[in-house]
Structure 1
Amino acid sequence: MRQPDIEIYLKDADVDHTLIAKWLAQAIGPCSAWQQRGQTWKCHAGNIPVTWIPKAVGKWNSLLLESDQTPWEDDVSCARAAYAALDVEVRCAPGSWSEADGEEDADRWIRVSADGEEEITWRTS
């Protein structure tokens, strides 16, 4: 089932919104100019609203695509594509999560890296 939005976390201080824009332009469509509000950066890739938050969780940068019209059906497929294009470790939730799912599931993540793809426990709070 297609997720209503996509959120992935990218590790690495060398990945910034300009590299993300280049990747998204190839994957989705041209990116509008980035608008910065505090620590948050926003643009549109094609017609998809994009939010980039550097160091959202420690050294992890958050990328949120606010649409169900991305080329990726879920966070995991987007994480795979981001890793392939940018060669940085990517983490994402294994599927949609809501508070009703409980705190245990909130710490379940998929890691995509040079080691392959695996489920990990990542305590973000």
Structure 2
Amino acid sequence: MRQPDIEIYLKEPLTHKEIAAWLSTALGECTEWVQKGQTWKCIAGTVPVIWLPKAVGKWSSLYLESDQTPWDDDIACARDAFKALNEEVRCAPGTWIEEEGEEDADRWIRVSADGEEEIIWRTS
């Protein structure tokens, strides 16, 4: 089932400009980035994009606010991001809802040069 949006986490030193180059290839040309506080926003093709540097320590959040992407879920996007950017990517293993409990909130998928694995990542 296609997720309603996509969110992945990319490790520094990646910047929104490097992300824009990948997104322009994957989704379509990016508009100019607009910064509001710590958040950067643009539109890639027709997809609203939010980039939040250092959302979790040295990890930046990339949020694609649409179900109209080439990826069915966060994991497919994370794989493509790693392939294009050659930097470790983390994402939730599926759509998480609060009722599932805090323990499941710490389950993440890590995509890196070592392959793909489920990890426990305590983000709070």
Unpaired runs of 5+ residues, structure 1, are none
Q: Distance in 1 between matches of 2:12 and 2:61?
A: 11
Aligned length: 124
**Deviation, structure 1 residue 83:** 0.2
Amino acid at match of 1:88: E
Q: How far apart in 2 are the matches of 1:94 and 1:53?
A: 20
Q: How big is each residue's C-alpha offset from its partner over 1:4-58, in whole Å with a ceiling of 9 and x where there is no partner? A: 0000000122x10001000000001010000000100000001100000001000
Identity rate, percent: 72
Query: Which TM-score applies when normalising by structure 2?
Result: 0.99
d(CA) in 2 for partners of 1:104, 1:61: 22
User: For the residues of structure 1 that align with 2:10 and 2:108, how far apart are their CA atoms?
Assistant: 13
CA RMSD in angstroms, aligned pairs only: 0.4
Partner of 2:87: 88
Corresponding residue of 2:117: 118
Instruction: Name 1:11's counterpart in structure 2.
Output: 11
Residue of structure 1 in register with 2:45 after alignment: 46
Match for residue 32 of structure 2?
A: 33
Query: Structure 1: which 4+ aligned runs deviate by more than 2 Å?
Result: none
Give the match for residue 20 of structure 1: 19
Amino acid at match of 1:17: H
The corresponding residue for 1:2 is 2
Q: TM-score with structure 1 length normalisation?
A: 0.98
